[in-house]
Amino acid sequence: QDIRDCPGPLSALTELNAAVKEKFRHLRGRIQELEQMAKEQDKESEKQALLREVENHKKQMLSNQAAWRKANLACKIAIDNSEKDQLLQGRDILRQRKTTKESLAESASNITESLMGISRMMSQQVQQSEETVQTLANSSRTIQEANEEFKSMSGTIQLGRKLITKYNRRELTDKLLIFLALALFLATVLYILKKRLFPFL
């Protein structure tokens, strides 16, 4: 809107566009950083959420760029028409100079306000992106710590399982030895009874 309403001259519009291009370049870099952060996430849900956020930022940026181009075209047409009107009027040179100075002062004021507005908008977007990146970094650290704890618990559980299996095998061996000892004892008793009671057999 500020570019569309820029009263001119073309040099003022050029300066305003240069500032806007720099802001778009900076915003594009931040979006790329956010996209790289999303690709590095281990959890698929967080990765997809970040990628959706990146896509929304890209769409918003493309929309702003399209509006910016349209505003530039409209402003250039308006400036060209204004310069043509000034040339066709051919009125008092002093009045024209005075009007030009006032127009330049007003244009400079409008450009300054426009740049401040764009700067505030870009700053807010960058701050939001930084907060999102920080939140994701904290979440990633929490997930990594939980993963380490799970790995430690898994090792303990596996060791316990091995010990239980070992004890079960030993218990089975002990039962078998007791059974064999009992069988041998009974066989010995029966043999002694046989020799005492039935020596003729």
Q: Angle between the 93-197 and 10-39 helix axes, to the nearest 10 degrees?
A: 0
17 contact partners, CB below 8 Å, separation of at least 6:
3, 72
Which of 85, 88, 57, 78 has its CA nearest to residue 7? 78
**Spatial distance between the Cα atoms of 201 and 199, rounded to a whole number of angstroms:** 5
At 20-46, the pLDDT tens digits run 778 878 888 888 887 788 778 778 887
The answer for 134, left when phi > 0, alpha when psi is -120 to 50, beta otherwise, is alpha
Q: Is the pLDDT of residue 1 over 60?
A: no
10 Å Cβ neighbour count for 102? 10
Q: Which pTM was predicted? A: 0.35
Indicate the helix (H) or strand (E) that contains 51: helix 44-89
CA–CA dist 124, 120 (Å, integer): 6
Q: How far apart are CA 184 and CA 188, in angstroms?
A: 6
pLDDT tens per residue across span 79-120: 777 667 677 776 555 555 566 677 777 877 788 887 787 878
Longest dimension (CA), the chain: 159
Instruction: State the pLDDT confidence band at 182, using cuts at 50, 70 and 90.
Output: very high
pLDDT in tens, 120-151: 888 788 788 788 778 877 877 888 887 788 78
Among candidate residues 27, 51, 55, 22, the one with its CA nearest the CA of residue 39: 51
Which residue ranges make up each domain of the chain?
10-95+105-198
